[in-house]
Amino acid sequence: MSYIPEIAARAQGLELSHEEIKRYSRHLIMPEVTLEGQKCLKAARVLVVGTGGLGSPLLAYLTAVRHKPEAAVSYYGVGIDQKLSLAKNMACPMMLHFGELDKYAPPEAIAQIREAHKDDPNVTIYEYPGCDHAFARKGGHNFQPYHADQADMKTLSFLVAKLIGHR
């Protein structure tokens, strides 16, 4: 497996705590991640993930178009459709997750976002059928375990690929 040398160098000597091993146990068994990859993720620098609440999905998007993090992820994407004039400035790889039935980011907004980024290979958009807002929030009213796991695993694979590199 190959990793970005500077991140791999920072990861040397890093250990995962018992709590981290427990928390990331599903990731550690994935051949795309492994213990070495998880240590590199721990050593990695800038990434932005907005998972809802107080504008964080929009914050992830605005950071991606105004700055240059290594990667950005937005769950639910509320408000992004109001900032599409900035789409041409996308400065990093970005992944967006939307619930098909989300009233806060309705199908019309998702269509506008898709259209604005249709020619941008850096932007990946996923829509989850039958899911409402906050479908990936464990314990929440709209929690959908299967789709939450799908979104989380796609996010993890994306971040590993963007921050560490393909193996």
Q: What is the CA radius of gyration of the chain?
A: 16
Average pLDDT over residues 58-68: 89
Q: What is the pLDDT of residue 46?
A: 67
Query: What's the whole-model pTM score?
Result: 0.72
**What's the CA dihedral at 27, 28, 32, 35 to 10 degrees?**
140
Tell me the C-alpha distance between 130 and 113, whole Å: 19
Better-scored residue on pLDDT, 1 or 139:
139
Contact between 144 and 135 under an 8 Å Cβ cutoff? The reply is yes
Average pLDDT over residues 84-106: 95
Tell me the C-alpha distance between 2 and 166, whole Å: 7
Tell me the C-alpha distance between 49 and 61, whole Å: 9
Tell me the C-alpha distance between 144 and 128, whole Å: 10
Kindly list the domain boundaries of the chain, sorted by start residue. Answer: 46-144
What percent of the chain shows pLDDT beyond 70? 92
Q: What is the pLDDT of residue 2?
A: 58
User: 65: which 2 tokens?
Assistant: 């178009």
DSSP state of 44: -
The yes-or-no verdict on residue 105 having pLDDT over 60 is yes
DSSP state of 92: S
The yes-or-no verdict on residue 139 having pLDDT over 70 is yes
Closest by Cα among 139, 38, 88, 109 to 96: 109
pLDDT tens digits for 124-135? 999 999 999 999
Q: What is the pLDDT of residue 132?
A: 97
Question: Given 3.40.50.720, 3.30.1360.170, 3.40.50.1820, 3.10.50.40, which CATH number is that of 46-144?
Answer: 3.40.50.1820
Residues annotated as part of the active site: 102, 133
Tell me the C-alpha distance between 140 and 43, whole Å: 31
pLDDT tens digits for 6-48? 667 777 888 889 998 998 888 888 888 888 888 887 776 667 8
Tell me the C-alpha distance between 92 and 14, whole Å: 27
Categorize the per-residue pLDDT at 167 as very low, low, confident or very high, splitting at 50, 70 and 90: low
